Amino acid sequence: MSSTDSVKIILNGKPARIKPGLTVSDLLIQRRMRAELVTVELDGTILQKLDYDTTQIKEGDKVEFVFYMGGGDLKS
């Protein structure tokens, strides 16, 4: 992807290039991540899931994804 048709972001601490105009939802789909199973932080703020569809990722943004970590007892 050349620099003219991409934007540079920091994704989980590493530089990455993505297509311009992607929303958080688009990026999750591209990375095959289910929105309901991840927490997304954008420039230090945890996003509400409702905002994933409308939040566009811009040049220089710092994006962090973490998967849900949970579970429980054998009976559950």
Our finding on whether 64 is near another protein (CB under 8 A) is yes
- Print the binding letters for residues 14-33 with another protein: x by CB under 8 A, - otherwise: --------------------
Residue 47's alpha-carbon distances to 39, 44, 76, in angstroms, are 8, 9, 29
Our finding on whether 1 is near another protein (CB under 8 A) is no
Our finding on whether 69 is near another protein (CB under 8 A) is yes
Question: Could you give the residue ranges of the DSSP H alpha helices within 6-46?
Answer: 24-30
- Print the binding letters for residues 39-58 with another protein: x by CB under 8 A, - otherwise: x-x----x------------
Question: 3-state DSSP call for residue 50?
Answer: helix
Residue 55's alpha-carbon distances to 2, 13, 17, 19, in angstroms, are 23, 20, 17, 14
Residues contributing to the site for another protein (CB under 8 A): 12-13, 37, 39, 41, 46, 64, 66-76
